[in-house]
A and B are shown apart, each in its own frame.
Chain A
């Protein structure tokens, strides 16, 4: 279907975005057609690929191995990593040792050929490496630089270390989700703020490039992940600002609707999520569950009454749903005008008839990882969108020759010297550290 050049055709993005937020941003940018070059090195491990030069077998057999093809820890395992190969599809990889004079000079040369540089290294790293905004702006005044550390580059927490869990903690997100009847220590960990930051980075680079068309200048863009997540907590923040109220952990409850939530169905770990936003929907629900009398119970006659008796009505629904198949019940409820969805199992999502009909999963053949189904892209652009088969994620340093020789024009001799001196390469040095 796609007949046009992709939206970001001709846009070159350099990336040092680690773990979740950075790769999510570059996935969207590459899907939109940007040439994304992941700037890695053989001296330092890319944490999106691995934290360890060798992965001990005990780790490989546990959670830490669940994202390497066949839990195979043999040499080159970093090219067979699920998150990296998922999010870096369509990207390129170059290895440069930014800690060395040569690597830094080559990076500056690369920056002269680039439109944007995104990074979320720990505070102070870009300054130490000499790839800070002031320097890069002198090197290439048209370059856009996006920095997205957890707490931003100014303010009392700018130096704070943390993961997505820490940003969500400060944003107030952790304290308003999780089980309603438990304390916060049972609230499941999430890194919800990471993809949110990544989407904003992908958006911000494009916005800054549009601005550049008028100003001719690049600019520095800063995103504090913790600030971006506060928007997701807006309802509870505004309720406090307006009414001084703190509801606490909401679990699966809704402030306006009951019954509401996730209810057990027949089978192993099968559940249905449902919502009753109107009296008509409630009558329908009672009918489908085979409990028409409930619709006439005065405790549940109106939306306000159901909210007052939320626990009672939720318990009655929870008692009725286990007799039903989740998929069949959701289909019945949707037909009766009650919003519902069976809980999708991620192990089965690639076989989901709806997603199959839409072609959401497609196979990618990766030179090191083999052929697997991958989800995406996240949105379908009819005319200029990319269509399968997608270009696989790069192996470490796969595009060294392209970047250094073709793009930067260094000689074959110099390239061979860099390889011989182990300045660049396609495998981590034995001494490589995180």
Chain B
């Protein structure tokens, strides 16, 4: 067994970030994922980049190489009757179909959920869209920043006197993709068990609005008390001890210091005498009395140290201080290195690419990171499995169906 999902078959009609991340979780962990792409252009992720040398090429886009690992690519023109017929033939063999077209697109293509149910009643169809398949805003266009604005969490992210700031390029879509994947496995299980179809409506807005940390809990806090738990507000000094981001010799560190960890703090920065000094211990919440003294001692310790040194010394005493890694630091981080997390993958046109690796470690069925497909690379192979001879595949190509 290579992965926990060995033997399951996924028909992947998604593109971009969220849908492909959901199906990447299938492909990296053993499922046979057939990725349907538009002839010629393919997945939009092939145009996102980053590209080596900033030279755009559909087989060298970093996001494509990352998100479509382990999938097989088949090009189908769903605007043609032949393309749609081939798609439904593939659906007869699929346990799970995932799509991320704009809401209503499948219906316009005469590929409504009933078509997939007719092709195979034991199939789950997961539909990922910005605002869901129903409702007033179902046709609204969005991207990662816009959907983060619509879900409500952006409002509570940032400084109070200026614009709210996003959570990082594409990050909300990765999160939503993981949420979609968890629901997709449930739907697939139910369809398989009951030999009856299941259709799932995933609205990215809702998946994020209800997510932890500042989504669902903030919404329910408001229902409970009329105030939000987290807002864009002035930084509050929660004690005289350091909490937050601070500069070290070569960058920044992140630290949390609860007052009951004062002894750890003192041991690390070499102020053992403070541990038993009542002037300190009785004023830990009092920033006015001892805040400046604490801060000065903290900086005196921190500023000459690299972030890695500071982290090692602090964590040895159980004080949660971590380096703020930059992308370069991430690749040389000793923890990721020891765990062989990043993996080099060879691609015939993309070259040698280092990708984030397997993040879910199954003891007995580990799965594996395999390279992303070239556009239409598996046309002959996959259509061959449907019984088409290479000659017939060539004819389909000539028609423009694939």
Contact = CB atoms under 8 A, between A and B. Distances in A.
A7 B190 contact: yes
Interface in B126-157: 131-132, 134-137, 139-143, 145-157
A211 B1 contact: yes
A165 B328 contact: no
A70 B224 contact: yes
B240 interface: no
B217 interface: yes
A70 B226 CA distance: 8
B51 to A, nearest CB: 7
B265 interface: no
Nearest to B261: A161
Contacts of B157: 188, 190
Interface stretch (B71-79, B243-251, B275-283): B243-251
A382 B212 contact: no
A234 B62 contact: yes
Contact size range, B: 35 or more
A355 B135 contact: yes
Given A87-B212, A344-B149, A211 B196 contact: no
Nearest to B183: A379
A262 B164 contact: yes
A235 B62 contact: yes
Interface stretch (B35-43, B266-274, B333-341, B375-383): B333-341
How would you classify the secondary structure of chain A's contact residues: helix, strand, loop or mixed?
A: mixed
Interface string A182-209: 0111111111101110111011101110
A246 B4 contact: no
A252 B167 CA distance: 9
Interface string A231-249: 1111111111111011010
Contact of A376 (B170, B180, B216, B322): B216
B5 to A, nearest CB: 6
Interface string A67-99: 111110000000010110111000000000000
B305 to A, nearest CB: 16
Interface string B166-193: 1111110011001111110111011001
Given A275-B145, A275-B146, 4 more contacts: A68-B224, A166-B254, A203-B182, A339-B146
B339 A381 contact: no
Given A173-B171, A207-B5, A219 B50 contact: no
Residue among B136, B190, B331 with the most chain A CB within 10 A?
B190
A210 interface: yes
Contact of B196 (A4, A8, A186): A4
Contacts of B254: 165-166, 169, 174
A302 interface: no
Given A234-B63, A237-B356, A378 B210 contact: yes
B8 to A, nearest CB: 7
Contacts of A83: 212, 216-217, 220-221
A185 B242 CA distance: 12
Contacts of B315: 157, 159-161
Interface of B: 1, 4-8, 21, 25, 29, 48-54, 62-63, 65-67, 131-132, 134-137, 139-143, 145-159, 162-171, 174-175, 178-183, 185-187, 189-190, 193-194, 196-203, 205-207, 209-225, 227-229, 232, 236, 244-247, 252-254, 256, 311, 315, 318-320, 322-331, 333-336, 338-339, 341, 353-357, 359-365
Contact of B212 (A20, A224, A231): A20
Given A195-B175, A271-B149, A190 B213 contact: yes
Nearest to B149: A273
Interface in A135-154: 151-152, 154
Contacts of B328: 240, 246
Given A196-B174, A200-B360, A381-B187, A166 B224 contact: no
15 contacts: A7-B187, A86-B220, A160-B322, A161-B320, A162-B256, A166-B322, A172-B330, A200-B182, A230-B336, A232-B175, A261-B145, A269-B155, A375-B206, A381-B190, A382-B198
A210 B179 contact: no
Nearest to A157: B335
B167 A354 contact: no
A345 interface: yes
Contacts of B199: 381-383
B324 A190 contact: no
B327 A233 contact: yes
A170 interface: yes
A290 interface: no
Nearest to B325: A172
A106 interface: no
A411 interface: no
